[in-house]
Structure formats: structure tokens, C-alpha cells
């Protein structure tokens, strides 16, 4: 008889898990910015060098971490956001897996500086490839500053697999925009290679959309608002004239989280039936609020599909709400495309 099974060392387990959570620099930005949102930040700064390949920095003025937590945060399955399985059904935070920091630290060189308001001095933790290098006191403002360097330095196959800087930067912009669009009350900046790409002041939702995508949207947005016992939907849908063949901004969010939902997309488009040319799409920014127990966000760490109870009923509510907005706010008559 010979036993052959062994438990993997943490550093190896972390690197395997990281493959799921951290695919590219944009994943690091998504995870770190979501953590900053969960920490109650009012201001979040993102700085990238070489589309995140060389360095990514996320700086927030949230609640910070204690000396012990700053170290523990990098362990796998370490989280302050849930305590028991039942908490998953009442989730109000972006995070809950306790995997992101462990994964990032497994495939990059990370330096964390953080301080809580009640502490006079902050703490610095340096960790590379899951190995703690040092922890020491450091003078820093209240909040948290993550610096992530040389992503995939120890996973050459992954590093080689990264796309051109312009593609990786586009992925970063997409991740950044999604979070900015659902947190208009937070100020965000994004700098790339020393150039300011975004400087978004805390604003209302309409203003945030215009700040992200340009003032041209101002005349295109129809407010949508509906509340039933099942869900609340608010936000904006485009006027029929805003229909385009491609490059159309369409966003669904649920309880503060971006989601893809092809079925609900059809519900929105059904409201424009006969108002827009076949094959065109209309921009929309629609925000669902539902009881956390009615959705399942625990599908896959990076998947943006979310399962709802009652999808058919929500389809009807959504389609009717958008239709009503078009009717109420848009006085353009129905266009007959056959003539
Ligand atoms: P999760 O977000 O799923 O809890 P993470 O690995 O992303 O897991 O983070 C682990 C923990 O580290 C969080 O639960 C939180 O307590 C702490 N943390 C991470 N980022 C921040 C931050 N920017 N400010 C304060 N605490 C943070
Ligand atoms: Mg997190």
C-alpha cells in the first residue's frame, strides 16, 4: 500500500484559486474598488501604469483595517462580511468570499498601507506570491492604499497571455465604469500612465451617467421608476431616437452589482417594439432593488449573470415600466417603418 494524497501548500492552493478570480489587471481593479466601496469610502482613486501590468494602485478613505486584520485579510476565506451561510441570503456588500486579496497576493507583489480612525499610526503589509515579506508601522491617512505590482510575475504563462495595453486598459475602463455608475455618491478618479482619464465628483445618477459617457446623453434619457412587492426598478432608458446599431451603452445593476441579463434585455427592447428599427438597440441604465434572498449572486466569482426568483413576472414589470416611461416622457409618435 502506498498513500499518495497530500494537501497542497497554501501558496499553491492560492495560485490555483487565483486563476478563477484574477484573470487580468481589470479583475484586480474590480476587486479592490469593490472592497473600497464596502469599506464606506467617499473618495476612491485608481492609478494604473502600463494598463496595470507594471502597477495598480487603489486608494480609499474608507474605514481602514487594524494591524491584525491587515495581515489576516490576505488569508483565503478571510472576510469581515459574512459569518455564516445564512448571511448569504441577506447580502448587502459586494464582497463575501474572502478570496480576492489572497488571490491577488498569490500572483503579484502587494503592498498594503492602512489605518483606522481610532489608531494613531497605520500599518504596512508587504506580501509577494503569497509570502509575507514584512509588516511594520507606517504613517498614513485613515483609509486603505493597495499597490499591486507586476501582476503574474510568478505565472509566466498568464503574464504572456495578457493582451495589448490598449485592450487591457479598455477592460479596466469597463470595470471602473460599472462600479462608478452604481455608486454616484462616491467620488472616483482614474489615472493611466500619469494622465487623468476620469475625475468623477459625487453626484446624482443622471449627472454620473453624463460624467461617464458625455453630455450628449442629457436629452436621450427617460426616467424609469416602478415599485412592486417583488422589486424596485429605477434609472433611465433611452428615447427611441437614441437607438443605434452598435456601441450602445446598456447596463443592469441589482442591489449595487453590475449584471448581465439577456432575458431582461429582451424585456426592455420589447417596450420599444415598432418604435425603433429592427436590429437596433437603445441605451439604458436600470437599477434593480430586490430582497437579497430572491437572487443568487453566488454562482461564480467573476460571472456577472444573476439568477432571480420570478424572472417572468419581473420581465412583465420591466417591460411595462419602460413602455410607460416612453409614453409619458417622449411625445414622438409611433414610426411606421414600412412606409
Ligand atoms: P471579501 O471582500 O469577500 O470579504 P477580500 O479578500 O476582498 O474578501 O477582502 C478580505 C477582507 O479584507 C474584507 O472582508 C475586509 O474586511 C478587508 N478589506 C479589504 N479591502 C479593504 C479596504 N479597502 N478597506 C477596509 N477593509 C478592507
Ligand atoms: Mg472583496
98: left (phi over 0), alpha (psi -120 to 50) or beta: left
Domain range for 121: 10-200
Q: Are 134 and 126 in contact (CB under 8 A)?
A: yes
Structural domain tally of the chain?
A: 2
10-21 vs 100-107: helix crossing angle, rounded to 10: 110
**What is the pTM (predicted TM-score) of this model?**
0.93
In this structure, the answer to whether residues 220 and 170 fall within a common structural domain is: no
Res 83: pLDDT: 87
* Contact (Cβ atoms closer than 8 angstroms) between residue 82 and residue 292: no
> With contact defined as beta carbons under 8 Å apart, do 180 and 213 qualify?
no
Residue nearest to atom 25 of ligand 1 (CA): 64
In a domain, 241, yes or no: yes
Count of helices and strands (H, E) across the chain: 9, 15
Angle at which helices 165-182 and 25-38 cross, to 10°:
20
State the CATH number of the domain containing residue 168.
3.30.565.10
Interface pTM, i.e. ipTM = 0.99
Q: How far is CA 119 from CA 37, 52, 64, 67, 140, in A?
A: 21, 31, 10, 9, 11
Determine the Cα angle at 178 with ends 151 and 312, to 5°: 125
Q: For residue 167, give the H/E element and its range.
A: helix 165-182
Residue 238's DSSP bridge partners are: 221
Is 75:103 a contact under the CB 8 Å cutoff?
no
pLDDT of residue 329: 73
Q: How far is the CA of 79 from the centre of ligand 2 (A)?
A: 8
In a shared domain, residues 40 and 110? yes
Q: Which ligand is nearest to the CA of 61?
A: 1
Which ligand is closest to the CA of 88, given by its number? 1
Q: Are residues 244 and 142 in the same domain?
A: no
**Ligand 1 pocket: which of 14, 27, 31, 35 to mutate (most atoms <8 Å of CB)?**
35
Of the residues 157, 173, 200, the one at which a domain ends: 200
Q: CB under 8 Å to 306, separation ≥6 — which residues?
A: 254, 257, 259, 261, 295, 296, 297, 299
Predicted confidence at residue 332, as pLDDT, reads 53
- Ligand 1: residues with CB < 6 A are 31, 35-36, 39, 60, 62-65, 73, 78-81, 95-101, 144
Return the number of other C-beta atoms located less than 10 Å from residue 58's C-beta: 23
State residue 339's pLDDT score. Answer: 43
210 inside domain: no
- Asked whether residue 205 is domain-assigned, the answer is no
Q: CA 55 to CA 74: how far, in whole Å? A: 19
3-state helix, strand, coil in the chain (%, to 5): 35, 25, 40
Question: Does some domain include residue 23?
Answer: yes
Query: For position 178, what pLDDT does the model report?
Result: 97
Question: What's the CATH code of the domain at 279?
Answer: 3.30.230.10
Write out residues in the chain with pLDDT < 70, as ranges. 298-303, 330-339
Adjacent-strand bridge partners of 7: none
* SS3 of residue 87 by DSSP: helix
Could you identify the residue written with the cell 467620488?
187
Amino acid at each position: 500500500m502506498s498513500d499518495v494524497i497530500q494537501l497542497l501548500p497554501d501558496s499553491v492552493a492560492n495560485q490555483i484559486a487565483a486563476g478563477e478570480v484574477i484573470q487580468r489587471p481589470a479583475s484586480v481593479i474590480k476587486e479592490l474598488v469593490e472592497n473600497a466601496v464596502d469599506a464606506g469610502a467617499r473618495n476612491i482613486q485608481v492609478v494604473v501604469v502600463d494598463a496595470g501590468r507594471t502597477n495598480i494602485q487603489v486608494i480609499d478613505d474608507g474605514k481602514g483595517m487594524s494591524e491584525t486584520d491587515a495581515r489576516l485579510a490576505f488569508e483565503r476565506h478571510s472576510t469581515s462580511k459574512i459569518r455564516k451561510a445564512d448571511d448569504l441570503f441577506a447580502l448587502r456588500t459586494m464582497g463575501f468570499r474572502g478570496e480576492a486579496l489572497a488571490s491577488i497576493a498569490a500572483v503579484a507583489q502587494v503592498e498594503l498601507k492602512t489605518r483606522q480612525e481610532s489608531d494613531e499610526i497605520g500599518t504596512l503589509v508587504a506580501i509577494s506570491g503569497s509570502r509575507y515579506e514584512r509588516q511594520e508601522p507606517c504613517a498614513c491617512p485613515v483609509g486603505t492604499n493597495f499597490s499591486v505590482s507586476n501582476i503574474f510575475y510568478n505565472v509566466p504563462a498568464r503574464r504572456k497571455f495578457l493582451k495589448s495595453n490598449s485592450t487591457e486598459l479598455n477592460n479596466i475602463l469597463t470595470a471602473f465604469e460599472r462600479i462608478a455608475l452604481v455608486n454616484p455618491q462616491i467620488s472616483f478618479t482614474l489615472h493611466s500612465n500619469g494622465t487623468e482619464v476620469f475625475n468623477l465628483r459625487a453626484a446624482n445618477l443622471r449627472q454620473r451617467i453624463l460624467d461617464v459617457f458625455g453630455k450628449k446623453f442629457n436629452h436621450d434619457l427617460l426616467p424609469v421608476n416602478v415599485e412592486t412587492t417583488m422589486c424596485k426598478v429605477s434609472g433611465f432608458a433611452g428615447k427611441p431616437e437614441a437607438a443605434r446599431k452598435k456601441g450602445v451603452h446598456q447596463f443592469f445593476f441589482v442591489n449595487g452589482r453590475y449584471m448581465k441579463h439577456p432575458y431582461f434585455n429582451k424585456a426592455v427592447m420589447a417596450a420599444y417594439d415598432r418604435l425603433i428599427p429592427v436590429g437596433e438597440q437603445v441605451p439604458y441604465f436600470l437599477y434593480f432593488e430586490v430582497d437579497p434572498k430572491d437572487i443568487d449572486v453566488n454562482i461564480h466569482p467573476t460571472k456577472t449573470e444573476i439568477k432571480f426568483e420570478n424572472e417572468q413576472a419581473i420581465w412583465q414589470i420591466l417591460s411595462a415600466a419602460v413602455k410607460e416611461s416612453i409614453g409619458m416622457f417622449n411625445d414622438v409618435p409611433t414610426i411606421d417603418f414600412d412606409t
